[in-house]
Amino acid sequence: MESRESSWIEQAQRGDAGAFDRLVQANEGQVLRAIGGILGRCPEVYDVYQDSLVSAFTKLPSFRQESTFSTWLTRIAVNRALNQRRKTRNARQDPLEYADHIPGSEQDASGAMEQSELRRSTERALESLSERERAVFVLKHTHGYKLREIGSMLGCAEGTVKNYLFRATRKLRVVLEPAYREL
Amino acid sequence: MNCEHELEQLILFQAGELQEKEADQVRLQVETCGDCREEFDRIAFLADAPLTPELDKEAIAAARAMAYARIGSSWRHRFRVLADGLSSLARGLRPLPELALGMALIAFGYVLGNSGGGDVASELPATAIVDVHGIEFDEATGRATVRYDRPRSRAVTGNLGDQAVASVLQAALMNGDDNGIRMHALKTVRALASSGTPESDLSDAIVGLVRTEQQEGLRLRAIWALDALYESSTLPEAARESLLSVLTSEAGDGVRIAALNTLMAHEPSRRDAVALRQVVSGDSNPYVRSGAARTLERIGVPLEQLN
C-alpha cells in the first residue's frame, strides 16, 4: 500500500491528474470526517474540501513524504476548516440551521431516530467547544491520531493538545450527560 | 471519581495515550472501582458519539469536480513544475542567488509569453487560479476580452474556441469572493456559446455552480449558460444530473423552472423519470409540475403510471 501510494504521489508530482485523483479518493472519507467534525453540518464543509484539494495540489511538488499523504492532506484540511470556523462562528447563530435542508438529514423511523437524536445532541454539544478543543477531540476520536501527530497538525506542543483534550472531554461530559443517562 | 488527576488519567487511558505501566495501573483501577468504571464508560460514550455529520455524496463529488476544474488540466501543472525547477536551480546557484532567481523568472516569463494585454488569444495564464478583474464582450466581433492578474494586468481576447479565454473564464467562475465577476463570466460564456465547444473544465465549473451555488441569481445564470453551450449538442451527463438535482431541490421557483426548461430542451430520457415523477407529485409550483408531466409524456411514461 505504501509503495503504491508513494508511486501515485510521484506521478501526481509530475503532473498526472489521474494519480492525484486516486490519492484524493483513497483518503476522501478521512479528510471529510475531519472537516465535518470541525465544522459540523453546514454547506461550508464542501467549500473547505474543495479549497483543501486545490491547496494540496498547489503544494504537492514540495511534499517530501515525511508523513503519509493522508496525514498531510488532513493537516491542510484541518487548518482550512479551523480558519473557516473562525470566520463563520460569530456570523451564524444556529449551526444546525442547515440540518433540515440537507438530503438525508430527515429523522428516520424507529431506531434511526435515536441515532439521529444522538447525532444532533452531539453536534450541539460540539458547538460548546472552542475550535481547537473540537479539532483535537475529533481528530483523536474519529481518526485515532496520536496527540503528538495532532500537535504537529495544529502547530502546538503535545502538552497543549493534551490540555485541549481534557477540556473538551470535561465540557462534553457535562453537555452530553442527559444522553448518556438515557442509554 | 473525586480526583481530577484520575479523570485525566482515565481520558488518556481511553485515548490509548498512556505508557504500558501506567495503562496497567488505570486498567486495574477501572476493573476494581465502580466509580472509575462508570467514569470510564462515560468517557468511552463521548469518544464513540457520532462526531461527524452525514454528508451529501453528490455535494462531495461536486466539490471534488470544482476543485479539479480550478486546478485545471495537467499542462498548467507542468508549467508550475518548470517554475519550481527554475526556482530550485536558482536557489542552488551561488554566490549570486538573487541574480540567478531573476534570470529564472525572466526565463519563465519568456516561456509563458509576456504581453501587456490586448489581442493575444494565444497567451496562457501561468496558473489555474488567476485574479480576473474585467470582462468585456464585443458584440461587433463576437469576441470577449478578459483581464486578469494584478498589479500588472494581462488580457486574453477571443472566443470559447481559444483555450486561454476558456481558462480565464473558468478561473473567473471559481472566484468565490467576487459574485460580480462570476455573474459577468457566466453572461460572457452565454454570449460566446455559439463560438465553439467549451473545454470540459469550463463546462465542469458551470455544472459545479449549478449544483452548489448558494446565490440564486448565479445559479440561474449557470443554468442558462449550460443551456446555451449545449444548444446544438448533447447535454453532458453531469450537466443533466445537476439539472435534475436542482429540480428536486429546494431551489427557488425561477431556478427550478430554468432547470426544467433546459432539460425539456435537451432530449430528456426515461432515466429522468424518477426525478420527474417526484416533481409531478410534490413540487409546489404548478408550472413546474405540469412541465414535468409533459416531459414524462414525451419520454413515454404515461401519467397513470405515476400512482
Which of B233, B251, B281 delimits the end of a domain? B233
Q: Across the interface, do A47 and B81 touch by the CB < 8 Å criterion?
A: no
Residues of B in contact with A115 (CB under 8 A): 50
Instruction: Check whether residue B104 and residue B211 sit in a common domain.
Output: yes
Query: Residue B307, exposed/middle/buried by CB under 10 A (0-12, 13-18, 19+)?
Result: exposed
Mean pLDDT, range B233-256, rounded to an integer: 86
Q: Across the interface, do A46 and B62 touch by the CB < 8 Å criterion?
A: yes
Instruction: Check whether residue A10 and residue A85 sit in a common domain.
Output: yes
Residues of B in contact with A122 (CB under 8 A): 49-51
Answer whether B19 touches A (CB < 8 Å): no
Instruction: Check whether residue B42 and residue B172 sit in a common domain.
Output: no
Q: Across the interface, do A166 and B8 touch by the CB < 8 Å criterion?
A: yes
Closest residue in B to A62 (Cα–Cα): B84
Answer whether B91 touches A (CB < 8 Å): no
Residues of B in contact with A166 (CB under 8 A): 7-8, 11
Instruction: Check whether residue B164 and residue B224 sit in a common domain.
Output: yes
Instruction: Check whether residue A45 and residue A24 sit in a common domain.
Output: yes
Q: Across the interface, do A49 and B67 touch by the CB < 8 Å criterion?
A: yes
Q: In this complex, which of A62, A138, A169 lies closest to B11 when CB atoms are compared?
A: A169
Query: Is residue B14 very low, low, confident or very high in pLDDT (cuts 50, 70, 90)?
Result: very high
Q: How many structural domains compose chain A?
A: 2
Nearest Cα residue to B187 out of B144, B141, B147: B144
CA distance B74 to chain A (A): 5
Please, which residues have CB within 8 angstroms of residue A6's CB and are 6 or more apart in sequence?
A: A65
Answer whether B59 touches A (CB < 8 Å): yes
CA distance B251 to chain A (A): 11
| DSSP per position, B240-301 | HHHHHHHHTTT--HHHHHHHHHHHHHS---GGGHHHHHHHHHH-S-HHHHHHHHHHHHHTT-
**B24-44 burial, b if ≥16 CB within 10 A, otherwise e?**
eebeebbeeeeebeebbebbe
Answer whether B15 touches A (CB < 8 Å): yes
Q: How far apart are CA B277 and CA B307, in angstroms?
A: 9
Query: Is residue B285 very low, low, confident or very high in pLDDT (cuts 50, 70, 90)?
Result: confident
**Distance spanning both ends of chain B, measured CA to CA:** 61
CA distance A3 to chain B (A): 23
Predicted confidence (pLDDT) per residue in B57-104, tens digit: 888 888 888 888 777 643 444 444 445 444 544 444 443 444 344 444
Query: Is residue B136 very low, low, confident or very high in pLDDT (cuts 50, 70, 90)?
Result: confident
Answer whether B43 touches A (CB < 8 Å): yes
Report the pLDDT value the prediction gives residue A39, as an integer from 0 to 100: 92
Instruction: Check whether residue A94 and residue A120 sit in a common domain.
Output: no
Please, which residues have CB within 8 angstroms of residue B307's CB and are 6 or more apart in sequence?
A: none
Residues of B in contact with A13 (CB under 8 A): 81
Nearest Cα residue to B255 out of B295, B287, B299: B287
Crossing angle of helices B200-212 and B216-229, rounded to 10°: 140
- CATH number of the CATH domain containing A65: 1.10.1740.10
Q: How far apart are CA B165 and CA B188, in angstroms?
A: 11
The least confident of A33-42, A87-96, B149-158 is: A87-96
Provide the mean pLDDT of chain B.
75
Whether A86 has a pLDDT exceeding 70, the answer reads: yes
- Tell me the Cα Rg of chain B: 28
Whether A44 has a pLDDT exceeding 70, the answer reads: yes
Mean pLDDT, range B251-280, rounded to an integer: 84
Instruction: Check whether residue A81 and residue A167 sit in a common domain.
Output: no
Answer whether B106 touches A (CB < 8 Å): no
**Whole-number Cα distances in Å, B235 to B187, B200, B254, B266, B274:** 19, 12, 21, 7, 19
Instruction: Check whether residue B125 and residue B111 sit in a common domain.
Output: yes
Which of A62, A77, A106 delimits the end of a domain? A106
Instruction: Check whether residue A78 and residue A134 sit in a common domain.
Output: no
Peptide bond into B95 cis (omega under 30): yes
Report the pLDDT value the prediction gives residue A94, as an integer from 0 to 100: 45
Q: Across the interface, do A103 and B8 touch by the CB < 8 Å criterion?
A: no
Whether A72 has a pLDDT exceeding 90, the answer reads: yes
CA distance B56 to chain A (A): 7
Report the pLDDT value the prediction gives residue A164, as an integer from 0 to 100: 94
Interface test with A, best of B4, B8, B11, B46 (most A CBs within 10 A): B46
Mean pLDDT, range A100-119, rounded to an integer: 54
Q: How far apart are CA B90 and CA B107, in angstroms?
A: 12
Mean pLDDT, range B161-183, rounded to an integer: 79
Instruction: Check whether residue B170 and residue B196 sit in a common domain.
Output: yes
Which DSSP letter does residue B198 get? P
Whether B189 has a pLDDT exceeding 50, the answer reads: yes
Interface test with A, best of B7, B19, B52 (most A CBs within 10 A): B52
Instruction: Check whether residue B130 and residue B198 sit in a common domain.
Output: yes
Whether B40 has a pLDDT exceeding 50, the answer reads: yes
Q: How far apart are CA B265 and CA B273, in angstroms?
A: 15
Whether B135 has a pLDDT exceeding 80, the answer reads: yes
Mean pLDDT, range A72-77, rounded to an integer: 94
Q: Where are the alpha helices (DSSP H) in A14-109?
A: 17-39, 44-59, 69-89
CA A46 to chain CA centroid, Å, is 12
Answer whether B2 touches A (CB < 8 Å): no
Answer whether B66 touches A (CB < 8 Å): yes
Q: Across the interface, do B49 and A118 touch by the CB < 8 Å criterion?
A: yes
Interface test with B, best of A35, A62, A169 (most B CBs within 10 A): A169
Which of B175, B199, B233 delimits the end of a domain? B233
Q: Across the interface, do A49 and B64 touch by the CB < 8 Å criterion?
A: yes
Instruction: Check whether residue A32 and residue A22 sit in a common domain.
Output: yes
Domain with A168 in it: 107-183
In the block, residue with C-alpha cell 508513494: A6
Q: In this complex, which of A32, A36, A176 lies closest to B49 when CB atoms are compared?
A: A176
Instruction: Check whether residue A179 and residue A116 sit in a common domain.
Output: yes
Give the amino acid at A171: K
Which of A106, A126, A153 delimits the end of a domain? A106
Which of B182, B208, B233 delimits the end of a domain? B233
Give the amino acid at B227: D
Domain with B189 in it: 56-233
- CATH number of the CATH domain containing A151: 1.10.10.10
Give the amino acid at B28: L
CA distance A54 to chain B (A): 6
Closest residue in A to B68 (Cα–Cα): A54
Instruction: Check whether residue B39 and residue B105 sit in a common domain.
Output: no
> Is the CA virtual torsion A131, A133, A137, A140 positive or negative?
positive
Query: Is residue B204 very low, low, confident or very high in pLDDT (cuts 50, 70, 90)?
Result: confident
Interface test with A, best of B51, B56, B175, B212 (most A CBs within 10 A): B51
Of the two residues B300 and A161, the one the predictor is more confident about is: A161
Q: How many structural domains compose chain B?
A: 3
Q: Across the interface, do A32 and B60 touch by the CB < 8 Å criterion?
A: yes
Instruction: Check whether residue B228 and residue B249 sit in a common domain.
Output: no
- Between vectors from CA B292 to CA B291 and to CA B296, what angle results, nearest 5°? 120
Query: Residue A64, exposed/middle/buried by CB under 10 A (0-12, 13-18, 19+)?
Result: exposed
Of the two residues A15 and B89, the one the predictor is more confident about is: A15
> Is the CA virtual torsion B82, B84, B86, B88 positive or negative?
negative
Greatest mean pLDDT among A119-128, A166-175, B198-207, B290-299 lies in A166-175
Q: Across the interface, do A180 and B45 touch by the CB < 8 Å criterion?
A: yes
Closest residue in B to A134 (Cα–Cα): B51
Instruction: Check whether residue B115 and residue B228 sit in a common domain.
Output: yes
Instruction: Check whether residue B171 and residue B184 sit in a common domain.
Output: yes
Instruction: Check whether residue B191 and residue B304 sit in a common domain.
Output: no
CB B155 within 8 A of CB B147: yes
Instruction: Check whether residue B134 and residue B222 sit in a common domain.
Output: yes
Provide the mean pLDDT of chain A.
83
